[in-house]
Amino acid sequence: MYHIVVPVDEDERRAAAAGEFVTNLGAESGLNADLDDVSVTVVNVFKEFKAIDDGGNVRSEDLYDEDTFPDSVTTVRDRLEAADVEVELVRRHGDPAEEIIEYADSNDADAIVVPGRKRSRVGKAVFGSVTQDVILNSDRPVTIV
């Protein structure tokens, strides 16, 4: 089984693009991947934070719920399931890049598919900080879609 990790934030358009990329790995893509041999874990990371104001402290731990996923996660899940791709949802808490890489490493993922942001010509030369950290710090192949 070829295991792909797809990190997804709250942007449904980017999530859908990642799902479409994976479902197009079949014969029509020229890669001839057998989607029956592909499993995907959609990872959503709730970014760790701490805020202090006049009302007191708010910590991300107080708001984090490992069972509550943004709509973008269900969007990519539904697209993958419609293509009969085996899919699992995982919610983590912490630094997004670190959590994505740690999950991929601890589950021996074959690849990471990161949905990118639309950028200007100049902006295309520079990825978002999470994407850049994943590219630079992962030992696994990373595809930006």
Among candidate residues 68, 82, 92, the one with its CA nearest the CA of residue 7: 92
Look at residue 51 in the predicted model and tell me its pLDDT: 84
Look at residue 60 in the predicted model and tell me its pLDDT: 86
Look at residue 53 in the predicted model and tell me its pLDDT: 73
Q: What is the mean pLDDT of residues 6-33?
A: 85
Greatest mean pLDDT among 22-26, 51-55, 124-128, 140-144 lies in: 140-144
Q: What is the mean pLDDT of residues 137-144?
A: 95
The average confidence (pLDDT) of the chain is 88
Whole-model pTM: value is 0.88
- Does residue 124 carry a pLDDT above 60? no
Q: Domain range holding 44?
A: 2-144
For residue 126, name the pLDDT band (cuts at 50, 70, 90).
Answer: low
CATH of residue 116:
3.40.50.620
For residue 56, name the pLDDT band (cuts at 50, 70, 90).
Answer: confident
For residue 125, name the pLDDT band (cuts at 50, 70, 90).
Answer: low
94's torsion region: left (phi>0), alpha (psi -120 to 50) or beta?
A: left
Q: What is the dihedral of CA 15, 17, 21, 22, to 10 degrees?
A: 20
Contact between 22 and 6 under an 8 Å Cβ cutoff? The reply is yes
Q: C-alpha 106: how far from its chain's center?
A: 15
The count of structural domains within the chain is 1
Q: What is the mean pLDDT of residues 81-105?
A: 97
